[in-house]
Amino acid sequence: MSAMPILNATPPIAPLTGVAAELQGLIDEQYALHVGNADGVLADYIPELAKVPPDQFAIAMATYQGQIFSAGDTGVEFTIQSVSKVFTFAMLLEIAGRAETYRAVNVQPSADPFNAILLDPKNNRPFNPMVNAGAIAVAGRLRQDLGKSAFDEVLKTFERAAGRKLEVDDAVFQSERDTGHRNRAIGHLLRAVDVFDVPVDEVLDLYFRQCSIKVTAIDLAVMGATLANLGTNPLTADDVFHLDATRDTLSIMFTCGMYDGAGDWSINVGLPAKSGVGGGIMGVVNRQAGIGVFSPRLDENGNSVRGKFSCMGLAEQIGLHAFDPTNPGSTYLRRLTAPRR
């Protein structure tokens, strides 16, 4: 890949003033409010994830103009897991086009767990690209269209969205490859109904590898900001995704990104978002900012507990809910970037 700036994953060193200081203060406040919450459990069905120090916690926000605010363990890398589904889905939309993509996967929320071995009886397709079956269908189509270079393309796209070089956590990858029998079953089911016609093992290899890419909370915030910024990374000005792919992706994140928690999330947080069992949550404030939160203990839906509460708190404090007209709106974010008079 051509030279890519390595971003300094730390908040600005100069003291913050004005609205930037207020925003940083609100993020610090959410951190302090939730850091003591030890509810939830690690995703121990992937043995390697059971070894992650459970107390780690980070909150980050990146604006569409590339300012970064953060608190906690922002330098800690964790595996992206299901947040990856957002970006492989956007890739497939671009590579295969809308019609082909929606021949492989539906766009309906499902009331089943993320790892359900289940297809929509209507047409034998996965319910949506945010559950495992949908993401494995997407991986299958990417593997089919891109051949053996599929993973390199996925990694390159994730790097462009994050604005820095990323690596795979080999131990987590091996661990999931050795134990991911449910996902393998889903892969065979999809192969049986002709969603893709490449070897199931190669598709699963791609899926497990994409889930094992390591990111920080700041990376998730920047990747979210790339989607918020109409597909252009605000730090590198790289046009990573087209507008159409970005729009469909955000829509499906809104309805399906938080699995069974999606309904509660939509009324309480009101942002398109995606969680992963590594403990990451990525939220998108359309046209304004990305949010990245990391805390590995999960609730019964597989969503990070402290991640969920801190997103809820931030949305409330900053006024981020997409459909709340009485809210100050994202006044903070607007003031932050308002032209000087």
115 belongs to the binding site for ligand GLN (CB under 6 A) = yes
Structure tokens at 81: 């897991």
Task: Find the binding residues for ligand GLN in span 116-145 (CB under 6 A).
Answer: 132
Number of shown-chain residues binding ligand GLN (CB under 6 A) = 11
Task: Supply φ then ψ for residue 307, to 5 degrees.
Answer: -60, -45
H-helix or E-strand containing 204?
Answer: helix 200-211
Q: Measure the CA–CA gap between 251 and 20, rounded to whole angstroms.
A: 29
Q: Report which residue's Cβ sits closest to ligand GLN.
A: 82
Q: For this structure, is 82 an active site residue?
A: yes
In our burial notation (b when 16+ CB lie closer than 10 A, e otherwise), range 106-128 reads bbebbeeebbbeebbeeeebbbb
Nearest distance from residue 207's CB to ligand GLN, in Å?
A: 7
Give 45's DSSP letter. T
Q: Measure the CA–CA gap between 216 and 324, rounded to whole angstroms.
A: 30
- Residue among 64, 70, 84, 85 flagged as catalytic: 85
Sign of CA dihedral 35, 315, 218, 114: positive
Q: For this structure, is 259 an active site residue?
A: yes
336 belongs to the binding site for ligand GLN (CB under 6 A) = no
Q: Measure the CA–CA gap between 341 and 15, rounded to whole angstroms.
A: 22
Pattern 175-214, ligand GLN, x by CB under 6 A: -x------x---------------------------x---
Which of 142, 277, 282, 293 touches ligand GLN by CB under 6 A?
A: 277
Nearest distance from residue 28's CB to ligand GLN, in Å?
A: 28
302 belongs to the binding site for ligand GLN (CB under 6 A) = yes
Residues engaged in binding ligand GLN (CB under 6 A): 81-82, 114-115, 132, 176, 183, 211, 276-277, 302
Which residues are identified as catalytic?
Answer: 82, 85, 207, 259, 277
